[in-house]
Amino acid sequence: MAAQHQRQAMNTSAPSFALSSVTRRSFLKTGAVAAAGLATLSSRARAQINQNSRLRIFQIGVGGIGGLERSQLKGNPKIE
């Protein structure tokens, strides 16, 4: 008799959630939207550029090839 009382007490104390409103499809859809949002925010955070940074280019050419490119790049203050 005491065991029956404990079972009833355990069953009645468990929270009852309305799980019927959450379907597998809606759960996956919500999860996909949340994951896409987090991915977008993290990629934007990584893509922020330091305004003081400079692009360093190392170029090897043979017989003067690449001289035109080097002279064009020298005019840009953001490139070393």
Structural domain range at position 71: 54-80
Q: Does a structural domain hold residue 58?
A: yes
Q: Average of pLDDT values for 58-63?
A: 71
Please indicate, yes or no, if residue 3 is contained in any of the structural domains: no
Q: Is 69 a member of any domain?
A: yes
Q: Confirm whether 47 is domain-assigned.
A: no
Assigned domain for 15 exists: no
pLDDT score, position 15? 57
Q: What per-residue confidence (pLDDT) applies to 67?
A: 76
Task: List Cβ neighbours of 78 (8 Å cut-off, separation of 6 or more).
Answer: 54, 55
| Residue 18 is assigned to a structural domain of this protein | no
Counted domains in the chain? 1
Residue 22, CA distances (Å) to 25, 32, 34 in order: 8, 15, 16
Q: Is the residue at 61 inside a domain? A: yes
Q: Say if 68 falls within a structural domain.
A: yes
The residues, any chain, with a CB within 8 Å of residue 80's CB and separated by 6 or more, are 54, 55, 56, 57
Tell me the backbone φ, ψ of residue 37, rounded to 5 degrees: -65, -45
What does pTM read for this prediction? 0.33
